[in-house]
Chains A and B, each alone.
Chain A
């Protein structure tokens, strides 16, 4: 598992009260019983905590946790270079 995956899981569990048992790399956000505002809130917290800005349209509830973590990792790498 990558650092960005662990960081994302940490935010989901501690800031959004998601049940850790439901989180796997293959799970989609939809599998976590979320609604339409959830992704907006998640991206706000990701930006505040991890310092990466991801546009609203880049992530959808149908994405897997692993895919979102990959997106965050790529943004982190881009901002570090």
Chain B
């Protein structure tokens, strides 16, 4: 069950105006299509692990005493292709010896990692698992592609899960997870893996960058999250009107709005922080949770539904009743305007 939360954002805030100087777009173009006003970019020299460690420290601290015997890092932008980022994060958090591995499910990564963590706890392999979603998408974005460059931001968010009873507040009981590899080209970095090796001549220099087929991804995101939410609701025995807070992967404000509309969920119950941080990939759900918990919009007893969609394609949802958590401090890495 959920016992601690944390998040971290790099110091550098990049406004839409600043991006406009780099790309062929405008503040209005970005705001009306995405709802984003600014995002944080890590400066060169700041790696995904740096953000993950800061968020992890914050989550461990908020959970009270005790460390973690497993560390999972959901990321698409690991420090290096090899090894995984999680072992370094565990060591830097003073958790040397803990089980540690990365989870790759792009923007659904945090939900998948929560499911893996809940499984480790259920199998009694671990009692306390630190789940971190961390990404520095600025390291893979194409500065010439306004449809991605204007959308993504860097950040990390973390949750500490501990063993507990299934009926306790904070218990993660009803996951819905899915994938469709036929959609692999819709959200991708084509080169740099075993299929198109970087040592060989890359057929198109843009293949080194992240790409996303915007309109198709929009449609899939809404449809897949809608179905996944309905499946999770059914397993939990909840009606859509029972949902006090819907926390979606912060992909695009228009996606959040349309999803709430199709599900019949009051938009005032939809948690959103995309205006200030953009789409932070695997970090987006824990960042949104940390912010909403901090500002009081998420309160103990709330019935909460988390849902995400990402590259793969992948999607997933989970329900929980919000637990009583210790008062949380803000981001541990630099100023964060939403705190």
Footprint of B on A, CB under 8 Å? 15, 35-37, 40-41, 43-45, 48, 56
Contacts and interface: CB of A to CB of B under 8 A. Distances in A.
Contacts of B33: 35-37
Given A35-B32, A35-B33, A40 B218 contact: yes
A36 B254 CA distance: 12
Contact residues of B: prevailing secondary structure: helix
A68 to B, nearest CB: 17
Interface size grouping (class) on chain B: 10 to 19
A36 B262 CA distance: 20
Interface string B233-265: 000000000000000000000100010011000
A37 B261 contact: no
B216 interface: yes
A43 B216 CA distance: 12
B262 A45 contact: yes
A44 B223 contact: yes
Given A41-B258, A48-B262, A56 B215 contact: yes
25 contacts: A15-B261, A35-B32, A35-B33, A36-B33, A36-B214, A36-B215, A37-B33, A37-B214, A37-B215, A37-B218, A40-B215, A40-B218, A40-B219, A41-B218, A41-B254, A41-B258, A43-B219, A44-B219, A44-B222, A44-B223, A44-B258, A44-B262, A48-B262, A56-B215, A56-B216
A40 to B, nearest CB: 5
Contacts, number: 30
Which residue among A15, A36, A37, A56 has the maximum number of chain B CB atoms within 10 Å of its CB?
Answer: A37
Given A36-B214, A43-B219, A44-B258, 13 more contacts: A15-B261, A35-B32, A36-B215, A37-B214, A37-B218, A37-B254, A40-B215, A41-B254, A44-B223, A45-B258, A45-B261, A48-B262, A56-B219
Interface string B186-226: 00000000000000000000000000001110110011000
A32 to B, nearest CB: 14
Q: Which 3 A-B pairs have the closest CB atoms?
A: A40-B215, A40-B218, A48-B262
A48 B222 CA distance: 11
Nearest to B263: A48
A80 B215 CA distance: 29
A37 to B, nearest CB: 6
Contacts of B216: 56
Contacts of A48: 262
Contacts of B223: 44
B49 to A, nearest CB: 35
Contacts of A36: 33, 214-215
B249 to A, nearest CB: 17
A15 B260 CA distance: 12
Nearest to B222: A44
A35 B218 CA distance: 14
Contacts of B222: 44
B165 to A, nearest CB: 38
Nearest to A43: B219
